[in-house]
Chain A
Amino acid sequence: SQTIHQWPATLVQPVGSPLSLECTVEGTSNPNLYWYRQAAGRGLQLLFYSVGIGQISSEVPQNLSASRPQDRQFILSSKKLLLSDSGFYLCAWQNRGTQYFGPGTRLTVL
């Protein structure tokens, strides 16, 4: 069966510091992968998606970037965090049109 992992689970970072969040999927090959952000008490906003290694599409312009260095690995990064980057970050993979989510990373920028 397929599983999706994210780490770290929680992160507290100062403004202006770099960021790296990792997502990996097991039990499948060449998955479509997605990064979402959820602000407190809100729905999810799609940030990036990827259909293969090195292929990244951005939905929202911002100071975040994404990379897919391996088939089942998806990384969300920032060179300098802003206060507005605080939120809950969820990675998802798609199977037959349905997206399945990882456990998420709660990021607080101080």
Chain B
Amino acid sequence: AQKITQTQPGMFVQEKEAVTLDCTYDTSDPSYGLFWYKQPSSGEMIFLIYQGSYDQQNATEGRYSLNFQKARKSANLVISASQLGDSAMYFCAMREGPFNNAGNMLTFGGGTRLMVKP
């Protein structure tokens, strides 16, 4: 079974509107972390936001927030007030195991291509 599933291959959003990108995960480890990365056409992977499995509150970073529903094993990314520069691929990733352990690799989903319409 896939550990990270992103069911939306592509999405459109109108500029200045909010958009939610879906991510579900599968793990039996009680300690894990969830990450979202943005990959523009240049190729660089840009870290956006992190949520730890023991964090009580949903993570927020500027216009990005993570809707973490632990029981449903979902970690959706919400982008508020979309901008043209938000057009990119977005990847959800998970680290299983203790925080800052070098051997705990990131497992990535297949990504969602977001296109912001002017």
Contacts and interface: CB of A to CB of B under 8 A. Distances in A.
Interface in A82-110: 88, 90, 92, 94, 96-104, 106
Contact of A97 (B33, B42, B103, B111): B33
B102 A103 contact: no
Nearest to B50: A98
Contacts of B37: 101
Given A43-B91, A44-B91, A90-B45, A59 B105 contact: yes
Interface residues of A, number: 26
Contacts of B33: 97
B110 A44 contact: no
B47 A43 contact: no
Given A97-B95, A98-B50, A100-B47, A43 B100 contact: no
A62 to B, nearest CB: 16
Nearest to A46: B105
B45 A98 contact: no
A107 to B, nearest CB: 12
Select the residue from B4, B100, B109 with max chain A CB neighbours within 10 A. B100
A45 B105 CA distance: 9
A90 B47 CA distance: 13
Interface of A: 32, 34, 41-46, 49, 51, 57, 59, 88, 90, 92, 94, 96-104, 106
